[in-house]
């Protein structure tokens, strides 16, 4: 990543990079917060009643660790599209789980970001679904177009730092 890295960035490159950073940071934080209170997250997973009991505790640990790995990959810009795919799949699953809770009129606490209320409250409602849809929207550019600027897997060379294409990177269009 040379001096000219950012100055050569296309608009699309900047978009992908930004989404990557935001999403990566959000999921890394969410994963760490969940791992800091596994019992709390276990209650939430059980409360959703979408998984059979014997899968609740495996999910309690697997979900946040996957979030952490994907988040770190996004922040570094390694395997970015794959990480975005994983997070998109998880977000789709979360949306399905949240919708199921709402439709069954259950009163459950989300524990999506541990104890943090960001920006939604604890109780499952439309806020979390909308938030997840927004995050899906943020993952889409990365999934479709790649990591953008300042990514380890696509060091910017003298060419433009577009999102897609070879590192010689000539996305002439913005």
Partner 1 sequence: MLLHRACVIALAGILAGAFHSAVGPKLVLRPEDQFPAPQPRMTNGAAEASSAAAAPATLGLDISLADAAALFEQGAAFIDARRREEYEAGHVENAFWLPADQLTGGRPAALDYLDAEAPLVIYCGGGDCDASHNTAALLQQLGYKRTHVMKDGFPAWRDAGKPVATGAPVYESGGR
Q: Is 107 in the site for partner 1 (CB under 8 A)?
A: no
Per CB under 8 A, 58 contacts partner 1: yes
3-state helix, strand, coil in the chain (%, to 5): 60, 0, 40
11 counts as binding partner 1 under rule CB under 8 A: no
The span from the CA of 80 to the CA of 162, in Å, is 14
Using rule CB under 8 A, residue 120 touches partner 1: no
**Which two three-digit tokens encode residue 81?**
């599209």
Q: How far is the CB of 137 from partner 1 (least distance, A)?
A: 19
Q: Does 28 bind partner 1 (CB under 8 A)?
A: no
Q: Rule CB under 8 A: is residue 60 a binding residue for partner 1? A: yes
- Minimum separation from the CB atom of position 6 to partner 1 (A): 26
Q: What whole-number distance in Å separates Cα of residue 165 and Cα of residue 93?
A: 30
Site of tokens 């919708």: 99
By CB under 8 A, residue 83 contacts partner 1: yes
């Amino acid at each position: 990543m040379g001096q000219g890295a950012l100055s050569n960035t296309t608009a699309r490159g900047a978009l992908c990079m930004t989404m990557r950073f935001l999403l990566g940071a959000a999921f890394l934080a969410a994963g760490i917060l969940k791992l800091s209170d596994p019992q709390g997250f276990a209650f939430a997973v059980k409360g959703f009643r979408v998984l059979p009991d014997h899968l609740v505790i495996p999910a309690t640990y697997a979900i946040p660790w996957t979030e952490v790995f994907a988040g770190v990959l996004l922040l570094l810009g390694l395997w970015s599209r794959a990480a975005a795919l994983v997070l998109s799949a998880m977000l789709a699953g979360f949306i399905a789980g949240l919708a199921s809770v709402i439709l069954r009129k259950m009163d459950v606490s989300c524990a999506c970001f541990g104890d943090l209320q960001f920006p939604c409250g604890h109780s499952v409602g439309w806020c979390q679904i909308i938030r997840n849809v927004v995050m899906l929207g943020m993952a889409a550019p990365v999934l479709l177009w790649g990591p953008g600027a300042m990514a380890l897997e696509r060091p910017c060379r003298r060419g433009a730092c577009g999102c897609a294409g070879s590192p010689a990177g000539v996305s002439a269009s913005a």
